Chain A
Amino acid sequence: MDARPPHIDPDELAVDRLLAAVPRVPAPLGFRDAVMRRIARRHAPLYEWAFAAALAVPSLAFLGWELALGGLDFAVAVENLFVAATGTGDQAFFFVDGLVVLAAALLGAAGLVGTHAIVTEGAAAA
Protein backbone atom coordinates (compact mmCIF):
# COMPACT_ATOMS: atom_id res chain seq x y z
CA MET A 1 0.00 0.00 0.00
CA ASP A 2 2.92 2.29 0.69
CA ALA A 3 4.88 1.40 -2.43
CA ARG A 4 5.39 4.19 -4.90
CA PRO A 5 3.65 3.85 -8.26
CA PRO A 6 5.52 1.20 -10.19
CA HIS A 7 5.90 3.25 -13.35
CA ILE A 8 6.66 6.77 -12.29
CA ASP A 9 7.49 8.88 -15.30
CA PRO A 10 10.73 10.87 -15.10
CA ASP A 11 8.80 14.14 -15.01
CA GLU A 12 6.84 12.84 -12.03
CA LEU A 13 9.84 12.02 -9.91
CA ALA A 14 10.51 15.47 -8.47
CA VAL A 15 6.96 16.01 -7.28
CA ASP A 16 6.64 12.41 -6.17
CA ARG A 17 9.68 12.80 -3.92
CA LEU A 18 8.32 16.04 -2.53
CA LEU A 19 4.91 14.58 -1.76
CA ALA A 20 6.41 11.37 -0.42
CA ALA A 21 7.63 13.45 2.51
CA VAL A 22 4.12 14.56 3.37
CA PRO A 23 3.10 12.69 6.52
CA ARG A 24 -0.23 10.96 6.66
CA VAL A 25 -2.56 12.59 9.09
CA PRO A 26 -4.46 10.06 11.19
CA ALA A 27 -8.22 10.12 10.99
CA PRO A 28 -9.82 12.01 13.89
CA LEU A 29 -10.24 10.12 17.13
CA GLY A 30 -13.50 8.22 17.20
CA PHE A 31 -13.87 8.41 13.44
CA ARG A 32 -14.82 4.76 13.00
CA ASP A 33 -17.38 4.87 15.80
CA ALA A 34 -18.90 8.04 14.40
CA VAL A 35 -19.35 6.41 11.00
CA MET A 36 -20.83 3.26 12.48
CA ARG A 37 -23.22 5.27 14.66
CA ARG A 38 -24.48 7.16 11.63
CA ILE A 39 -24.93 3.93 9.71
CA ALA A 40 -26.81 2.31 12.58
CA ARG A 41 -29.03 5.32 13.12
CA ARG A 42 -30.46 5.16 9.64
CA HIS A 43 -32.39 2.02 10.51
CA ALA A 44 -34.11 3.32 13.61
CA PRO A 45 -36.63 5.66 11.99
CA LEU A 46 -38.12 2.82 9.94
CA TYR A 47 -39.43 1.15 13.07
CA GLU A 48 -40.37 4.44 14.61
CA TRP A 49 -42.29 5.53 11.54
CA ALA A 50 -44.15 2.21 11.49
CA PHE A 51 -45.01 2.55 15.18
CA ALA A 52 -46.12 6.16 14.75
CA ALA A 53 -48.28 5.19 11.79
CA ALA A 54 -49.82 2.28 13.73
CA LEU A 55 -50.86 4.72 16.44
CA ALA A 56 -51.88 7.61 14.24
CA VAL A 57 -53.83 6.02 11.43
CA PRO A 58 -56.55 4.27 13.50
CA SER A 59 -56.81 7.30 15.77
CA LEU A 60 -57.21 9.66 12.87
CA ALA A 61 -59.73 7.34 11.23
CA PHE A 62 -61.74 7.12 14.44
CA LEU A 63 -61.64 10.88 15.01
CA GLY A 64 -62.69 11.47 11.41
CA TRP A 65 -65.53 9.00 11.77
CA GLU A 66 -66.65 10.61 15.03
CA LEU A 67 -66.52 14.02 13.45
CA ALA A 68 -68.56 12.85 10.49
CA LEU A 69 -71.20 11.30 12.72
CA GLY A 70 -71.45 13.94 15.43
CA GLY A 71 -69.88 17.00 13.93
CA LEU A 72 -72.70 19.25 15.14
CA ASP A 73 -72.35 18.02 18.74
CA PHE A 74 -68.63 18.57 18.50
CA ALA A 75 -69.13 22.13 17.26
CA VAL A 76 -71.51 22.84 20.12
CA ALA A 77 -69.06 21.37 22.63
CA VAL A 78 -66.24 23.52 21.30
CA GLU A 79 -68.45 26.60 21.39
CA ASN A 80 -69.40 25.84 24.98
CA LEU A 81 -65.77 25.48 25.84
CA PHE A 82 -64.98 28.89 24.41
CA VAL A 83 -67.89 30.43 26.23
CA ALA A 84 -66.65 28.96 29.49
CA ALA A 85 -63.10 30.06 28.78
CA THR A 86 -63.99 33.66 28.01
CA GLY A 87 -66.02 33.81 31.19
CA THR A 88 -69.16 35.32 29.70
CA GLY A 89 -71.25 32.43 30.95
CA ASP A 90 -71.46 30.96 34.40
CA GLN A 91 -71.70 27.40 33.18
CA ALA A 92 -70.71 25.30 30.23
CA PHE A 93 -71.92 21.96 29.17
CA PHE A 94 -70.04 19.64 26.90
CA PHE A 95 -69.79 15.94 26.52
CA VAL A 96 -66.53 14.21 25.77
CA ASP A 97 -66.46 10.60 24.66
CA GLY A 98 -63.74 8.59 26.39
CA LEU A 99 -62.76 6.99 23.10
CA VAL A 100 -62.21 10.42 21.57
CA VAL A 101 -59.87 11.31 24.41
CA LEU A 102 -58.03 8.04 23.94
CA ALA A 103 -57.76 8.60 20.19
CA ALA A 104 -56.45 12.11 20.76
CA ALA A 105 -53.91 10.81 23.27
CA LEU A 106 -52.73 8.13 20.85
CA LEU A 107 -52.46 10.74 18.12
CA GLY A 108 -50.31 12.84 20.43
CA ALA A 109 -48.09 9.85 21.19
CA ALA A 110 -47.78 9.16 17.47
CA GLY A 111 -46.74 12.77 16.97
CA LEU A 112 -44.03 12.41 19.59
CA VAL A 113 -42.68 9.20 18.06
CA GLY A 114 -42.79 10.76 14.59
CA THR A 115 -40.96 13.84 15.83
CA HIS A 116 -38.30 11.65 17.38
CA ALA A 117 -37.92 9.78 14.09
CA ILE A 118 -37.48 13.07 12.23
CA VAL A 119 -34.89 14.29 14.72
CA THR A 120 -32.98 10.99 14.59
CA GLU A 121 -33.01 10.96 10.81
CA GLY A 122 -31.83 14.55 10.74
CA ALA A 123 -29.01 13.85 13.17
CA ALA A 124 -27.91 10.85 11.15
CA ALA A 125 -27.92 12.85 7.94
CA ALA A 126 -26.00 15.74 9.51
Chain B
Amino acid sequence: MTDQEIVERCLSGDRDAYALLVERYGGRVYNVALRITNDADAAADCAQEAFIRAYRSLHRYDPALPFAPWLLRIVTNASLNHVQRWHAHESPVEELPDRAAPDDLGPEPSTVRREEVGEVLAAMAELVPAYRAALALRHLQQLSYQEIADALDIPLGTVKTHLHRARAALLKRLAARRKEIS
Protein backbone atom coordinates (compact mmCIF):
# COMPACT_ATOMS: atom_id res chain seq x y z
CA MET B 1 0.00 0.00 0.00
CA THR B 2 1.44 3.39 -0.95
CA ASP B 3 1.77 6.29 1.47
CA GLN B 4 -0.89 8.18 -0.43
CA GLU B 5 -3.35 5.31 -0.14
CA ILE B 6 -2.76 5.14 3.58
CA VAL B 7 -3.28 8.88 3.91
CA GLU B 8 -6.51 8.55 1.97
CA ARG B 9 -7.70 5.84 4.34
CA CYS B 10 -6.82 7.98 7.34
CA LEU B 11 -8.74 10.91 5.91
CA SER B 12 -11.76 8.70 5.34
CA GLY B 13 -11.80 7.86 9.06
CA ASP B 14 -9.59 4.77 9.34
CA ARG B 15 -7.38 6.01 12.13
CA ASP B 16 -5.62 2.66 12.58
CA ALA B 17 -4.16 2.91 9.07
CA TYR B 18 -1.91 5.65 10.37
CA ALA B 19 0.00 3.02 12.36
CA LEU B 20 1.42 1.80 9.04
CA LEU B 21 2.95 5.20 8.39
CA VAL B 22 4.30 5.41 11.93
CA GLU B 23 5.89 2.01 11.52
CA ARG B 24 7.23 2.83 8.07
CA TYR B 25 8.79 6.17 8.95
CA GLY B 26 9.26 5.95 12.71
CA GLY B 27 12.95 5.16 12.43
CA ARG B 28 13.74 7.91 9.95
CA VAL B 29 11.79 10.50 11.85
CA TYR B 30 13.39 9.49 15.15
CA ASN B 31 16.88 9.60 13.65
CA VAL B 32 16.41 13.10 12.25
CA ALA B 33 15.15 14.28 15.63
CA LEU B 34 18.05 12.53 17.35
CA ARG B 35 20.69 14.18 15.18
CA ILE B 36 19.16 17.63 15.64
CA THR B 37 18.36 17.49 19.35
CA ASN B 38 21.31 15.28 20.26
CA ASP B 39 19.21 13.90 23.09
CA ALA B 40 17.49 10.53 22.96
CA ASP B 41 14.53 11.47 25.18
CA ALA B 42 13.97 14.76 23.39
CA ALA B 43 14.19 12.98 20.05
CA ALA B 44 11.49 10.52 21.06
CA ASP B 45 9.26 13.39 22.18
CA CYS B 46 9.86 15.39 19.00
CA ALA B 47 9.29 12.37 16.80
CA GLN B 48 6.00 11.59 18.55
CA GLU B 49 4.94 15.20 18.33
CA ALA B 50 5.80 15.25 14.63
CA PHE B 51 3.62 12.23 13.91
CA ILE B 52 0.73 13.72 15.85
CA ARG B 53 1.05 17.07 14.10
CA ALA B 54 1.26 15.27 10.77
CA TYR B 55 -1.88 13.30 11.57
CA ARG B 56 -3.78 16.46 12.39
CA SER B 57 -2.51 18.09 9.19
CA LEU B 58 -3.11 15.19 6.83
CA HIS B 59 -5.82 17.15 5.05
CA ARG B 60 -3.15 19.69 4.08
CA TYR B 61 -0.81 17.08 2.62
CA ASP B 62 -0.59 17.15 -1.17
CA PRO B 63 -0.71 13.51 -2.36
CA ALA B 64 1.02 14.50 -5.57
CA LEU B 65 4.22 14.94 -3.54
CA PRO B 66 6.15 12.24 -1.69
CA PHE B 67 5.14 11.77 1.92
CA ALA B 68 8.58 11.37 3.52
CA PRO B 69 9.94 14.89 2.87
CA TRP B 70 6.67 16.39 4.13
CA LEU B 71 6.94 14.36 7.33
CA LEU B 72 10.64 15.10 7.74
CA ARG B 73 9.86 18.79 7.42
CA ILE B 74 7.50 18.52 10.38
CA VAL B 75 9.96 16.64 12.56
CA THR B 76 12.76 19.04 11.62
CA ASN B 77 10.65 22.00 12.71
CA ALA B 78 9.63 20.26 15.92
CA SER B 79 13.24 19.38 16.71
CA LEU B 80 14.62 22.83 15.92
CA ASN B 81 11.90 24.41 18.05
CA HIS B 82 12.82 22.06 20.87
CA VAL B 83 16.50 22.93 20.61
CA GLN B 84 15.67 26.64 20.59
CA ARG B 85 13.65 26.26 23.77
CA TRP B 86 15.90 23.82 25.55
CA HIS B 87 19.35 24.30 24.06
CA ALA B 88 20.84 24.63 27.52
CA HIS B 89 19.53 21.17 28.28
CA GLU B 90 21.49 19.47 25.51
CA SER B 91 23.57 16.58 26.65
CA PRO B 92 25.60 14.01 24.77
CA VAL B 93 23.56 11.10 23.54
CA GLU B 94 24.61 7.50 23.58
CA GLU B 95 25.60 7.42 19.96
CA LEU B 96 25.89 3.77 19.19
CA PRO B 97 22.73 1.73 19.61
CA ASP B 98 22.66 -1.37 21.75
CA ARG B 99 20.53 -3.03 19.11
CA ALA B 100 20.71 -2.45 15.40
CA ALA B 101 17.87 -1.16 13.29
CA PRO B 102 16.51 -3.84 10.96
CA ASP B 103 18.24 -2.33 7.95
CA ASP B 104 21.56 -2.19 9.79
CA LEU B 105 21.77 -5.89 10.34
CA GLY B 106 24.97 -7.22 8.90
CA PRO B 107 28.59 -7.60 9.86
CA GLU B 108 29.37 -6.31 13.35
CA PRO B 109 31.08 -2.93 13.07
CA SER B 110 34.70 -3.11 14.03
CA THR B 111 36.02 -1.25 17.05
CA VAL B 112 37.83 1.20 14.79
CA ARG B 113 34.66 1.96 12.90
CA ARG B 114 32.68 2.46 16.08
CA GLU B 115 35.28 4.93 17.32
CA GLU B 116 35.21 6.78 14.03
CA VAL B 117 31.47 6.98 14.06
CA GLY B 118 31.58 8.24 17.62
CA GLU B 119 33.99 10.98 16.62
CA VAL B 120 31.89 11.99 13.64
CA LEU B 121 28.76 12.21 15.76
CA ALA B 122 30.54 14.10 18.52
CA ALA B 123 31.86 16.58 15.96
CA MET B 124 28.41 16.87 14.43
CA ALA B 125 26.89 17.54 17.83
CA GLU B 126 29.11 20.60 18.18
CA LEU B 127 27.59 22.23 15.10
CA VAL B 128 24.73 24.70 15.33
CA PRO B 129 21.29 23.04 15.12
CA ALA B 130 20.49 24.37 11.64
CA TYR B 131 23.70 22.86 10.28
CA ARG B 132 23.00 19.56 12.02
CA ALA B 133 19.55 19.54 10.49
CA ALA B 134 20.87 20.22 7.01
CA LEU B 135 23.53 17.51 7.30
CA ALA B 136 21.09 14.97 8.69
CA LEU B 137 18.54 15.60 5.96
CA ARG B 138 21.09 15.57 3.16
CA HIS B 139 23.48 12.81 4.16
CA LEU B 140 21.47 10.62 6.51
CA GLN B 141 18.06 10.94 4.87
CA GLN B 142 19.19 11.57 1.29
CA LEU B 143 16.90 14.52 0.64
CA SER B 144 17.50 16.78 -2.32
CA TYR B 145 18.53 20.41 -1.88
CA GLN B 146 15.02 21.52 -2.73
CA GLU B 147 13.46 19.16 -0.21
CA ILE B 148 15.84 20.44 2.45
CA ALA B 149 14.95 24.01 1.52
CA ASP B 150 11.29 23.13 1.97
CA ALA B 151 11.95 21.33 5.24
CA LEU B 152 13.93 24.17 6.75
CA ASP B 153 11.81 26.84 5.07
CA ILE B 154 14.84 28.65 3.72
CA PRO B 155 15.90 29.53 0.16
CA LEU B 156 17.73 26.98 -1.96
CA GLY B 157 20.89 29.09 -2.00
CA THR B 158 20.90 29.26 1.77
CA VAL B 159 20.66 25.47 1.95
CA LYS B 160 23.76 25.15 -0.21
CA THR B 161 25.56 27.69 1.94
CA HIS B 162 24.45 25.93 5.14
CA LEU B 163 25.62 22.58 3.84
CA HIS B 164 28.91 23.92 2.57
CA ARG B 165 29.65 25.57 5.92
CA ALA B 166 28.37 22.59 7.87
CA ARG B 167 30.64 20.19 5.99
CA ALA B 168 33.64 22.47 6.39
CA ALA B 169 32.94 22.91 10.10
CA LEU B 170 32.42 19.19 10.57
CA LEU B 171 35.70 18.27 8.88
CA LYS B 172 37.52 20.99 10.81
CA ARG B 173 36.15 19.79 14.15
CA LEU B 174 36.87 16.23 13.25
CA ALA B 175 40.47 17.07 12.37
CA ALA B 176 40.82 18.97 15.63
CA ARG B 177 39.43 16.08 17.63
CA ARG B 178 41.74 13.61 15.96
CA LYS B 179 44.69 15.91 16.56
CA GLU B 180 43.75 16.10 20.25
CA ILE B 181 43.53 12.34 20.49
CA SER B 182 46.82 11.72 18.70
Q: Which residues of A are at the interface with B, using a C-beta cutoff of 8 A?
A: 1-5, 11-12, 14-16, 18-28, 31-32, 34-36, 38-40
Q: Identify which of residues 133-182 in chain B touch chain A, using a CB-to-CB cut-off of 8 Å.
A: 135, 138-140, 142, 144, 163-164, 167, 170-171, 174
- CB pair B144–A38 under 8 Å, yes or no, is no
Shortest CB–CB separation between residue B121 and chain A, in angstroms? 6
Closest residue of chain A to B167, judged by CB?
A15
With known contacts A3-B142, A4-B142, A15-B139, A26–B101 Cβ distance under 8 A: yes
Which residues of chain B are within 8 angstroms of A34 by Cβ–Cβ distance?
Answer: 48
Shortest CB–CB separation between residue A89 and chain B, in angstroms? 60
With known contacts A21-B120, A39-B18, A28–B44 Cβ distance under 8 A: yes
- CB pair A27–B30 under 8 Å, yes or no, is yes
- CB pair B51–A35 under 8 Å, yes or no, is yes
Contact with A along B57-68 (1 / 0, CB 8 A): 000000000000
Looking at chain B's contact residues, the main secondary structure is: helix
With known contacts A15-B139, A21-B120, A31-B22, A38–B52 Cβ distance under 8 A: yes
Q: Which residues of B are at the interface with A, using a C-beta cutoff of 8 A?
A: 15-16, 18-19, 22-23, 26-31, 34, 40, 44, 47-48, 51-52, 55, 96-97, 99-104, 109, 113, 116-117, 120-121, 124, 135, 138-140, 142, 144, 163-164, 167, 170-171, 174
Question: Number of residue pairs across A and B with beta carbons under 8 Å?
Answer: 107
- CB pair A15–B170 under 8 Å, yes or no, is yes
- CB pair A20–B139 under 8 Å, yes or no, is yes
With known contacts A15-B135, A27-B27, A38-B52, A22–B120 Cβ distance under 8 A: yes
Q: Which of B23, B55, B121 contacts A32 (CB 8 A)?
A: B23
- CB pair A24–B171 under 8 Å, yes or no, is no
- What 4 A-B pairs are tightest by C-beta distance, nearest first? A19-B139, A27-B30, A27-B26, A26-B101
Which residues of chain B are within 8 angstroms of A18 by Cβ–Cβ distance?
Answer: 116, 120, 170, 174
Which residues of chain A are within 8 angstroms of B135 by Cβ–Cβ distance?
Answer: 15, 19
Shortest CB–CB separation between residue A14 and chain B, in angstroms? 7
